[in-house]
Structure 1
Amino acid sequence: MPLLRRYGLLPALVKELVIDQAIAAVTLTPEQLTQAVDQFLQTNQITSPEQRQGFLAQRGLSDADLTGLAERAAKLQRHKADIWAPKVESHFLQRKASLDRVLYSLIRTHDGGLAQELYFRIQDDGQPFAELARQYSEGQEAQTGGLIGPVELSVPHPALGRMLSISQPGQLWPPTRVGEWFVVVRLEKFLPARLDEPTRQRLIDELFNTWLAEQVQLVLHEHGAD
């Protein structure tokens, strides 16, 4: 225990022990175990006997260990689906605002006067946003004509995210101070989040990981290790 604490490994060990306890009651049929091993090999991009032996040798594992790892991974997926899948719909509704995606155009500059001029050149003179972004924007977006995305609304600066969340496609915002920048931004496209299979799995993982982190902290606190 002192060594685990010294090297910062105790939380990682507790995490694995909590997982073991959570999946203890999950059972797999022989067919499911075979599928689990196949899935494990596929996930780790092991497609030949030579790669399999190299994988085992590199980690000091046996074939039995590999089967155990595959079984544990499959049990964990089953546990997540059984416990957390029923909570996904409500979690999705809570998270949807940050999962919605936007495609937008951005010009940013440290010069407020320039930002004002560029806004009027786009708004009143009809100059192409992309052309001005390539010439004047001071961020990496200059390389794409100011175009950014699609990205989730949680990705941009919070102030920028709020602007985009209440924008209509094609809406151009006057220069706005965002952090150290003056930005001119236009929403190009709004892509509402859908509860498709990848999103469903991501939200199951989120729910599980939140619960797991809480359990780890409880155990560490009980043992005076936090």
Structure 2
Amino acid sequence: MVSQTFLTVNDQPIELAQALQYLQSAGKLKPFIGEILRQYVIEQELKTRADLEISPALTEQAVIDFRLQRQLTDPKVFAEWLASNGKDYGSFHHQIAMSFKLEKLKAQVTEPKLQEHFIERKLFLDRVVLSRIVVAQQELVEELASQIEEGTSFEQLAKEYSIADDRIVNGMMGPVSRGTLPDIVRAAVDSASPGDIVGPLEMEGRWVLFQVGQFVPASLEDGQLKQALQNELFEQWLAEKIQKMSIMLNIVPLR
């Protein structure tokens, strides 16, 4: 293998083999190679699939939108921006087109499994807004539960008596994934309605009262969630592709 200069630092060349050895010494060679393989698989798929064509008009509009958003409508300013980012117009245009193709590839790869993946993950995707009061003594938590039944504000009691850090926000835990809740809590919360008090429950040597707020069920109508699930499936698909590849690392030892 012919020695290749990878970088020049202070007029000193760093050969490709040396650069790879630096990465290996730092424990970063494996993720570095992993990203190369990932990009290789994507490139091959984009090249060989005939069903990923993108309308030139779509790409042109995306370029226009980008320039408007970044205030790069002036040709000179845009040219300077391209140069500062190591691009010319052709490579920038190509990058935009490839990003559309990649999203189309993701959709095609993940669509058949998306609904099933969503159902499998739904327990962790569904959320519920909870507040809590955490105390050390059973007698105290029972007294607080009685006060709440009589109309005392849950938030005020949380602020006064809870020993959890969230007492400073009146016990508000915020939206919590159902899948991360302990089984005993999830079972009680699932059978409750907004506004209900759950507990007292003994948890890790402490006593807890929960107030159930809004239930936030996950839905594939949520664009951000759908994209996140597509990304998960796409990364799994890439990993499976890479797993089946024959890979050999050719590094000439330095002397």
Contact 1:153 1:161 in 2 (8 A): no
Where does 1:163-202 land on structure 2 (aligned, <5 Å)? Answer: 163=187, 166-169=190-193, 170-178=196-204, 182-198=207-223, 199-202=225-228
- Could you state the TM-score of these two structures normalised by the residue count of structure 2? 0.69
Runs of at least 5 residues in structure 1 that lack an aligned partner in the other structure? none
Rounded to whole Å, the distance in 2 between the matches of 1:181 and 1:149 is 20
Contact 1:84 1:207 in 2 (8 A): yes
Runs of at least 5 residues in structure 2 that lack an aligned partner in the other structure? 1-15, 251-255
Contact 1:123 1:172 in 2 (8 A): no
Contact 1:37 1:71 in 2 (8 A): no
Rounded to whole Å, the distance in 2 between the matches of 1:53 and 1:161 is 58
What is the CA deviation profile of residues 103-158 of structure 1, one whole-angstrom value per residue up to 9, with x for unaligned ones?
Answer: 1111234x24476345434455443211111122334422332223234324x454
Partner residue of 1:15?
A: 38
- Could you state the TM-score of these two structures normalised by the residue count of structure 1? 0.77
Where does 1:1-226 land on structure 2 (aligned, <5 Å)? Answer: 2=17, 3-4=19-20, 5-6=23-24, 7-8=28-29, 9-24=32-47, 25=49, 26-38=52-64, 41=66, 45-49=69-73, 52-53=78-79, 55-109=81-135, 111-113=136-138, 116-117=141-142, 119-122=144-147, 124-154=149-179, 156-159=180-183, 162-163=186-187, 166-169=190-193, 170-178=196-204, 182-198=207-223, 199-216=225-242, 218-219=244-245, 222-223=247-248
Q: Secondary structure at the match of 1:47?
A: coil
Larger Rg belongs to: 2
Q: Secondary structure at the match of 2:152?
A: coil
Letter in 2 for 1:22: E
Q: Secondary structure at the match of 1:87?
A: helix
Contact 2:63 2:96 in 1 (8 A): yes
User: How many residues of Structure 1 are paired with residues of Structure 2 in the alignment?
Assistant: 219
In the TM superposition, residue 189 of structure 1 has moved relative to its aligned partner by 2.5
With over 3 angstroms needed to count, the CA separation of the structure-2 counterparts of 1:74 and 1:114, relative to structure 1, is farther
Q: Percent identity?
A: 26
Rounded to whole Å, the distance in 2 between the matches of 1:95 and 1:14 is 28
Higher relative contact order (CA 8 A, sep 6+): 1
